[in-house]
Amino acid sequence: MTNPIRILIVDDHAIVRLGLRGLLSTEPDMQVVGEATDGLTATQQALALRPDVVLLDLVMPRRTGLEAITEIKREAPEIRILVLTSFAEDAQIFPAIKAGAAGYLLKDSSPQELLQAIRDVHRGEVSLHPAIARKLMHDLQRPPAGTADQETLTAREFDVLQHLGRGLSNAEIADAMAVSERTVRTHVGHILDKLHLASRTQAALYARHADA
């Protein structure tokens, strides 16, 4: 049996944490390794426990969820962060994804949607609530003000983009393409610049939409 997905729950409402812990405890492939009640403790717990997935609310005392995402991803980029919040405003969504959140769910999601999102994010895939995905795709399809038309990707950059759409890490892409991770990072940077995207998550979503 494979190791369970180690999860840190972060929410300032005790009843929410209790409900999430109860739900996750029913899944044999998941293990709650800790809880945090604010953004500062979330960062400390994430860096101390090194969970696979942080289930994170955005609006919290002491340090916001966005600040916690930024700090956690800077210090431990391998940790996957799944936002679970009540807010679907652009001012919350886009900064969270840009900061490194791999998923964004609303609290009206079903238990099965949440469990699937945790598994998807753990595998390195993007998981977005349908309403969030629509907002993000609308934003991606809108040409940025004051920018020229998107530059054409090279064949190698297009290959990297396709791998991003499948949720592969830089190391996995490097293995698949028989190149170094450094080369992959360079290609990813060029892709983000040419397509006017802010993060790997946006690039992955862009690739999936292009294949649809």
**Predicted local confidence at residue 136, as pLDDT:** 66
- Domains of the chain with bracketed CATH: 5-139 (3.40.50.2300), 145-211 (1.10.10.10)
CA distance 107 to 91: 17
Over its length of 212 residues, how does the chain's per-residue pLDDT go in tens digits? 579 999 999 999 999 999 999 999 999 999 999 999 999 999 999 999 999 999 999 888 888 888 999 999 989 989 999 999 887 665 667 788 878 888 888 888 899 999 999 998 998 887 777 767 666 666 655 544 444 444 577 888 888 888 888 878 888 899 999 999 899 989 888 888 877 676 777 777 777 665 54
Count of other CB atoms within 10 angstroms of residue 108: 10
Query: How far is it, in rounded angstroms, from Cα 9 to Cα 154?
Result: 41
Backbone angles phi, psi at 104, to 5 degrees: -145, 110
Pull the structure tokens for residue 34.
């800790």
Residue 67's identity, in one-letter code, is: E
The residue written with tokens 């998981």 in the block is: 127
What pLDDT shows up at residue 149?
A: 43
pTM: 0.67
Sign of the alpha-carbon dihedral angle for 130, 70, 174, 53: negative
